[in-house]
Every structure is written in C-alpha cells, then in structure tokens.
Amino acid sequence: MANPRIGIIISSTVLPDAEMTRQLNILADKWTLSVMGLLLDGPQRFSTLLRTIPGISQKMLTQTLRGLERNGIVQRTVYPQVPPRVEYAVTPLGETMCDPVRAFEHWIDTHRAELEAARATYDQRTLAEQYTQVHALFGTRPGIAE
C-alpha cells in the first residue's frame, strides 16, 4: 500500500497520486481544452461543438461534456421545443478555468513551430532507428541491393 503522505506537490498542496490524477483529468484529456475554449466564448449547442472541433466523435464529445458537467464546470440546459434544443455553458466554477485555458492556448500558439520541429526531428530519428533495426534483424545492409 502506498504511503498516503507521499503525493504530488502543487503550490503548497500535497495531493495523493490517485486524487491528483482525478483532478488533472478534469483538464488533461484530449478534448477538454478544445471544448472549454469554445464554451468560454459563450453557450454552444452540441451540434455546433461537434462541427467546430476537428476530429472529435459524437461519443467523445458526449463523454467530455458529461465529465465537465459532473465536475460542475459545464451546465447543460434543455429547452422544451421540437426538436429539443440543448445548450452547454460554463458555470461560475468553469469560468475560473478561463485564465489557465487561455494561457495554455497562448503557449501552444507561441511554440507551435518549435513543437512541430521537435516532432519532425523525433519522427526522423525513430524512423532511422527502426530502419537500422530491421536491417540488423534480417542481416542485410542498408543501401546495398543484393
């Protein structure tokens, strides 16, 4: 059993690892920042979010919104009309996430070129390593036709 006094330190707060993971999952999943970035601009309908966020599936958007709603970050409002209209908006607690979300978006925009260059360098290096490993496995020498 893990020592409950050992955890992750954020500021002056020590959280046990499992609790820290739960707290970080509020923001740290693949889709939450994209959803929050849009909702911080104002209430959005599900279909608008689905169209606006590239690559997100209906299932993942539903799961993300439910998680945010469960944590008190987002409020779901159903309007009684035909067909039913559903909107999602940030709660007062969700509004407190505005600065961290915007800061992260700014960091990404500022460092986009560096991130892309690092990925390209990594991909090139690992491709070269894989190429060498395949040739070592089959006893061939790269670049020599037999």
Residue among 100, 101, 61 at smallest CA distance from 52: 61
Identity of residue 85:
R
Residue among 102, 95, 101 at smallest CA distance from 42: 95
What integer pLDDT is reported at residue 134 of this predicted model? 78
Q: List the pLDDT tens digit at each of the 146 positions of the chain.
A: 444 444 444 555 555 577 777 777 777 788 998 999 999 999 999 999 999 999 999 999 999 999 999 999 999 999 999 988 899 999 999 999 888 888 888 998 999 999 999 999 998 988 888 878 777 777 766 555 54
Question: How far is residue 11 from each of residues 8, 15, 16, measured CA to CA in Å?
Answer: 10, 11, 14
What integer pLDDT is reported at residue 21 of this predicted model? 75
Residue among 42, 37, 54 at smallest CA distance from 103: 37
Q: What is the DSSP string of 92-124?
A: HHHHTTHHHHHHHHHHHHHHHHHHHHHHHHHHH
The answer to whether the predicted template modeling score (pTM) of the entire model surpasses 0.75 is no
Q: How far apart are CA 74 and CA 36, in angstroms?
A: 9
Q: How far apart are CA 119 and CA 113, in angstroms?
A: 10
Whether the upstream peptide bond of residue 84 has omega within 30° of 0, thus cis, is no
Q: What are the boundaries of each domain within the chain?
A: 97-146
